[in-house]
Structure 1
Amino acid sequence: MTTTVPFGLAEQTEIRAYTDFAAGSPTHLREALGIATLRVGPALALVIRADPSRFFNRVGGFRPDEPITPDTVARVCDFYREQGVPQGSFMIAPSMLPPDWAATAEKLNLTEGNRLVKLGLDIEAAAPAADGTRPLDPGLRVGPVGPDEAEEWATVMMTTFGLTGPGLIDMAAACVGRPDWRQFAVRDGARIIAVGSVFVNGVCADMFGGATLPEGRGRGAQSALLAARVAAARSAGCRWLVAETGAEGPGEHNSSLHNMLRTGFQPLYERTTWLWRE
C-alpha cells in the first residue's frame, strides 16, 4: 500500500468533516442557521446561510477518476445562488483541475483566493521529526472533552477563529460526542485554553479546528493536541491523517504548519481556494 494518502481520499475526508460538523447538527440548528448540502458526483457542497463570515460555504471532495466539467462547476454556482449566499468557495487539488479550468473560471466569475497547504501523515510509517515537538508546559494537561465541557470547548474554537455569528457556537458544541469525532482540549487548571478535533473517515482522518487562546500560545498546547489526535486516529484504525493550513508567503511564518511538520506531517500540495461571488 502506498505510504502517501491518495489525493482524492484526502479531499473527500476534509469536506466530509466540514459537512458532518455543520449538517450533523440537530434539526432546529440546521433550520435556524440555514444549513444546506448538495452532492455533485463525488463532491459535496455546504452552505450556512446565517454565517456572516462565509467560511463554511464551500465545495470539495473531487476525485481524479471523475473529471470536473463546466456543468459540475455551474451546478455548484447555481446552488450557492439558490441558497442566497453572496460567496462560496471551490476546494480543488491542483492535479484535479481540468485543462480548460481557466476558461471555466472566467465564464463563471471564479477568482483566486487564499492558498492552503494540504498535509498528510502515514500513521504506520511516519515518526516525528528529529527536532521533536515542544513539551507541554508544567501545569497544563491534555485530554478528551466530555459533554459537560462542550460549550466551553466550542467557544474557545469558534471565537479564536472569529466565527461568532448567532448559533455557530451552539452548532460546534453539538458536535461533541458525535460518532466519528474525537474532541480534545488543553486545560490550565479547570479552564480550557486550546482545542482540537479529529474526524474519522474510514482509513483516513482529518485534523479539524485546532485553536489556542492568546494566553495559551507558545506553551506546547498545539503539539500536545496533535499528538493526542494522532493517537486517537491510530486507535480508530486509520492509516492516514490529513490536515490543511495557510501557505507561507515570502517572509511569513505559520506556526501551525511548522507544528504539524515537527509532528511528522508531510506537505502533499498547495491548493488555491477559488471564490465564486454573486
Structure 2
Amino acid sequence: MTTTNVPLGLAEQTEIKAYTDFVAGAPASVREALGIGSVEIGSARAIAVRGDSTGFFNRAGGFSPEYPIDADVVARTIDFYREKQLSSGAFMVAPPVLPTDWTSIAAKYDLVEGTRYVKLACDVESAVATTDVLGPLDPKLHIGLVESRQAREWASAMMPALGFAPELIDVAEACVGRPGWRQFAAWEGERIVGVGSIFVNGECANMMGGATLEGWRGRGVQTALLAARIRAAHAAGCRWMVAEAFAEAPGQHNSSLHNMLRSGFERLYDRVAWVWNA
C-alpha cells in the first residue's frame, strides 16, 4: 500500500499537462510540419503528433474522479484523432477512474489493450532526504542544468536515447528554458551522455524523458539524474512528484522502474494504454 497521498486527479493532470506542453509549445512551423495538435475535453486533454512514427505522444489523459471518462468523451477524442489524421491514439486511464461499463465502451469503439505502464509517485520532502545516499556517479561524469545554448545538443541526445524519430528533436529543443520546465544532463567532458526533465504543475511535478546513451549505462547516470530532479522539484516548492515507467512482463527487468523505486518513488497503480486504431 502506498503512503504517497498525491490526489489521483492531480497526478493524472500533471502528467498530461507535461506531455501537452512539451509538444504543443513547439514553434508554429514545427507544429505544422509534424501535425501537432491538442484539445481539451472537460478536464481531460488529448494530443496528437502525426509525425511521431512511434505513436507515443498520441494520447488522451487527465481523467479523474472529478471528470471521469465515458462514451461521449471517447467519441469526441476519437473525432479529434481522426481530424488530425492519426492511424492510432491511446486513452491513458487510471484503473480507479474506469467506469463500470468500460468493457462495453471499449468494445463499441474497438479499443484494445496496449502498453502497460506503472504510475509512480513520491513525497518530495521524504525523497529529497534519500538523494545523498543513492548510488555513486562515475567521477568522470557530472550533472547540471541545461542552458539555452545547449538545447540542440540536449535534444539530439534525448530523442535517440528514448527511441524517437529525429524529427522530434525540434520539439525537444524548443522545450529547453520554457516556463515550468527544468532540463538536466549528464556530461562526460563536453559531451551530453544522459538527459532528464521535470515539469512543474503547482504542488506536483512530472518526471519525464530520462535516458542514458548506450555506452554510458551502468555508470550511475540515471540515478544521479533522478536525484537532481527530485532536488529541483523540492526547490520549486513541489509537494509531490509523479512519473511513469514501462511495466515488466514476466522475465523482464526494467532498470528505470527499479531505480525510481530506490529513489523514494512508490507504485500507485498499473495503467493500460487503451488503443484506438483507425
**TM-score under structure 1 normalisation?**
0.96
Which residue does 1:58 correspond to in 2?
A: 59
**1:125 and 2:140 correspond:** no
Which residue does 1:86 correspond to in 2?
A: 87
**1:40 and 2:76 correspond:** no
Contact 1:52 1:165 in 2 (8 A): no
Amino acid at match of 1:106: A
Contact 1:14 1:61 in 2 (8 A): yes
Which residue does 1:209 correspond to in 2?
A: 209
Contact 2:121 2:267 in 1 (8 A): yes
Contact 1:132 1:262 in 2 (8 A): no
Deviations 1:118-164 (A, max 9, x none): 00010123466799532101111000001111111111111112212
Which residue does 1:20 correspond to in 2?
A: 21
Which residue does 1:105 correspond to in 2?
A: 106
**TM-score under structure 2 normalisation?**
0.96
Q: Distance in 1 between matches of 2:131 and 2:232?
A: 22
Contiguous gaps of at least 5 residues in structure 2: none
Contiguous gaps of at least 5 residues in structure 1: none
> SS of 1:250's equivalent?
coil
Deviations 1:64-112 (A, max 9, x none): 1223210111110111111111000100000000000000000001000
How high is the sequence identity, in percent, across the aligned residues? 58
Contact 2:4 2:121 in 1 (8 A): no
Which residue does 1:221 correspond to in 2?
A: 221
Amino acid at match of 1:259: N
> SS of 2:156's equivalent?
helix
Query: Over aligned residue pairs, what C-alpha RMSD do you find?
Result: 1.6
CA spacing shift, 1:177–1:131, aligned 2, 3 Å: closer
Q: Distance in 2 between matches of 1:140 and 1:126?
A: 23
Q: Report the alpha carbon displacement of residue 3 of structure 1 after superposing the two structures with TM.
A: 4.2
Contact 1:123 1:240 in 2 (8 A): yes
Which residue does 1:116 correspond to in 2?
A: 117
Which residue does 1:255 correspond to in 2?
A: 255
Deviations 1:25-81 (A, max 9, x none): 111111121111111111000001122221110000011122321011111011111
228-237 vs 128-137, greater mean Cα deviation: 128-137
Which residue does 2:189 correspond to in 1?
A: 189
267-276 vs 25-34, greater mean Cα deviation: 25-34
> SS of 1:214's equivalent?
coil
Q: Report the alpha carbon displacement of residue 171 of structure 1 after superposing the two structures with TM.
A: 1.0
> SS of 1:46's equivalent?
strand
CA spacing shift, 1:207–1:85, aligned 2, 3 Å: same
Which residue does 1:5 correspond to in 2?
A: 6
